[in-house]
Amino acid sequence: MTLNNKIGASADRTLPPERWDMIKQDVIERAHAERGRALRAAAAWVVNGACGLLRSAVKAYTAWLERRRAIRELNAFDNRSLWDIGINRSEIESAVRDWDPTRIPRGVARQRPRVAPYGAVNRPVTKRAA
């Protein structure tokens, strides 16, 4: 039996059955070790994912509890105190859940920016006497 010259002369020799058994046993042992490493990595991934999910659930639950506590506290205020804060009783939940810092509170006059009249490009805007 002759093989390609690319493989070499040692490829023509056959291995004894004992050597084949040793090689086969070595391959099986390495495959078992690699399989164990892969299973441990997969188990670690599952555990880390479960811990992350549990962490995020606990974080969401504590945030919900904090919002409920704030709503309870604001509901305990009288209308005058709520007015001083700038909200009324119907806005308590939305103020706690998604407060908009750009919101203009009720009772505050909106100030418009002073704009030069059309055509007055480079002149400064001045106050006119009444």
Place of tokens 């920016």: 113
Domain positions in the chain are 14-97
Return the structure tokens found at 39: 């299973």
- Does the pLDDT of residue 15 top 90, yes or no? no
**pTM for this model (two decimals):** 0.49
Q: By C-alpha distance, which of 98, 93, 61, 102 is closest to 74?
A: 93
**What percentage of the chain carries pLDDT values higher than 70?**
66
Whole-number Å distance between alpha carbons of 105 and 102:
9
End-to-end CA distance of the chain: 116
In this structure, what are the phi and psi dihedrals at residue 89, rounded to the nearest 5 degrees? -60, -35
